Structure 1
Amino acid sequence: MKDRSSLYAVLAMLAFGLLPGLAAAQTPFKLYISADMEGVAGVVSDQQILPSGFEYSRFREFMTAEVNTVIEAAFAAGVTEIVVSDSHGNGQNLLIEKFPKKVSVVRSWPRPLMMMEGIDASFAGVVLLGYHTSTHNEAGVRAHTLSSARLADVRINDKQVGEGEISAAIAGHFGVPVIMVTGDDQLVKELQGSLGNVEGAVVKWAHGFHSARTLTPAEANDAIRAATARALGRLKSFKPYKVATPVRFDLRFKSYRQADMLSYLPIVERIDSHTVRYVAKDMPAASKFVEFAVTYEADMDP
Structure 2
Amino acid sequence: MKVYISADLEGITGVVGREHVNPEGSEYQRARDLMTREVNAAIKGAYQGGAEHVVVNDAHGPMTNLMIENLETEAELITGTPKPQGMMAGLTEEFDLVFLIGYHSKKGDPGILSHSYSGGTVKQIKLNGLEVGEPGMNSYLAGYYQVPVGLVTGDDRVTTNTKDLIGEQLKTVAVKSALSRSAAKCMTPTKACKLIEERATQAVSELSKKKYTILTAEKPLELSMSFLDRGMAEKAAQLPNTKLENTTVIYQHDDMLSIYEAMQAMLMLVR
Tell me, which stretches of 5 or more residues in structure 1 are unaligned? 1-28
Aligned to 1:71: 43
From 253, 260, 266, give the equivalent of 1:280.
253
Deviations 1:105-124 (A, max 9, x none): 12222233121111111111
- The structural deviation recorded for 1:189 is 0.6
Structure 1 residues 179 and 264: CA distance shift in structure 2, 3 A: closer
- The structural deviation recorded for 1:247 is 1.7
Give the number of the structure whose alpha-carbon radius of gyration is greater: 1
Structure 1 residues 211 and 246: CA distance shift in structure 2, 3 A: same
Q: Distance in 2 between matches of 1:100 and 1:107?
A: 15
* Equivalent runs, 1:147-186 vs 2, <5 Å: 147-186=118-157
* Number of residues of Structure 1 aligned to a counterpart in Structure 2: 268
Q: Say if 1:80 and 1:102, in contact at 8 Å, map to a contact too.
A: no
Aligned to 1:213: 185
Q: Say if 1:202 and 1:223, in contact at 8 Å, map to a contact too.
A: no
Secondary structure in 2 matching 1:237: coil
Tell me, which stretches of 5 or more residues in structure 2 are unaligned? none
CA RMSD of aligned residues (A): 1.4
Structure 2 residue 221 is matched with structure 1 residue 247:
yes
Secondary structure in 1 matching 2:115: coil
Q: Distance in 2 between matches of 1:191 and 1:34?
A: 15
For 1:206, the aligned partner's letter is A
* Equivalent runs, 1:12-51 vs 2, <5 Å: 29-51=1-23
For 2:125, the aligned partner's letter is V
Aligned to 2:76: 104
Q: Distance in 1 between matches of 2:196 and 2:75?
A: 18
Q: Distance in 1 between matches of 2:46 and 2:197?
A: 9
Aligned to 1:190: 161
Q: Distance in 1 between matches of 2:215 and 2:80?
A: 26
Q: Distance in 1 between matches of 2:44 and 2:252?
A: 40
Aligned to 1:19: none
Q: Distance in 1 between matches of 2:81 and 2:265?
A: 11
Report 1 or 2 for greater relative contact order, CA contacts < 8 Å, sequence distance ≥ 6: 2
For 1:180, the aligned partner's letter is L
Aligned to 1:140: 111
Structure 1 residues 264 and 32: CA distance shift in structure 2, 3 A: closer
Q: Say if 1:112 and 1:291, in contact at 8 Å, map to a contact too.
A: no
For 2:24, the aligned partner's letter is S
**Which shifted more, 56-65 or 279-288?**
279-288
With normalisation by structure 2, the TM-score equals 0.95
- The structural deviation recorded for 1:297 is 6.2
Aligned to 2:103: 131
- The structural deviation recorded for 1:32 is 0.3
From 29, 34, 40, give the equivalent of 1:57.
29
Aligned to 2:86: 114
With normalisation by structure 1, the TM-score equals 0.85
Q: Distance in 2 between matches of 1:264 and 1:135?
A: 24
For 2:259, the aligned partner's letter is A
**Which shifted more, 233-242 or 155-164?**
233-242
Q: Distance in 2 between matches of 1:86 and 1:46?
A: 18
- The structural deviation recorded for 1:98 is 1.6
Secondary structure in 1 matching 2:98: strand
From 204, 228, 241, give the equivalent of 2:200.
228
Aligned to 1:294: 267
Q: Say if 1:113 and 1:170, in contact at 8 Å, map to a contact too.
A: no
Structure 2 residue 231 is matched with structure 1 residue 257:
yes
Overall identity of the aligned pairs, in %: 31
- The structural deviation recorded for 1:273 is 1.3
- The structural deviation recorded for 1:280 is 2.3
